[in-house]
Amino acid sequence: MQIEVIPEGDVQHLKLVLKGELDALTAPKLYEQLTQLVQSRPGLNRITLHCRELTYLSSAGAGILLMCMDNFTPKGISIELADVQPEVYNILDLLGLTKLMPVHHA
């Protein structure tokens, strides 16, 4: 999986592009990178993950997204998913995560 940071002037809003498959092998990498980015950006209050090119999500990937939300919310940082493909949205929906965090269709 590839994780790309979208350069943005707004220091409060971090935008990332996720490409590929978020599974047991790649989920720890996403968590590590997001945690580093949060630590390096004081004043951050919003993270948007653009998922148009995210083609697969396993339970491990969904678990990491939830863990990010659990860890970042107390720091005043919201996390949302944008441009989510129907296959990935369906899995998030089955797990009930679409009720816990903003998830927007592609």
Partner 1 sequence: MPKTSLQFGATTENLPIVRHFVQNHLRSFTSDSVQINQVTVAIEELCANSILHANKEDPEKELRLELRLQGTTLHIYLYDPAPPYDLHQYPQEPKLLRADTNRPGGFGIFLIRRIIDRIDIRKRKGGSSVYHMVKDLNP
**Which residues here bind partner 1, judged by CB under 8 A?**
21, 23-25, 56-60, 62-63, 66-67, 70, 86-88, 90-91, 94-96, 100
Q: Which is nearer to partner 1, 13 or 63 (CB)?
A: 63
Strand order across the beta sheet in which 46-57 lies: 2-6, 13-22, 46-57, 78-84, 103-105
Q: Which is nearer to partner 1, 77 or 97 (CB)?
A: 97
C-alpha 22/C-alpha 56 separation (Å) is: 6
Phi and psi, residue 36, nearest 5°: -65, -45
Q: Which is nearer to partner 1, 10 or 70 (CB)?
A: 70
Least separation in angstroms between residue 97's CB and partner 1 is 9
Least separation in angstroms between residue 2's CB and partner 1 is 15
C-alpha 94/C-alpha 33 separation (Å) is: 26
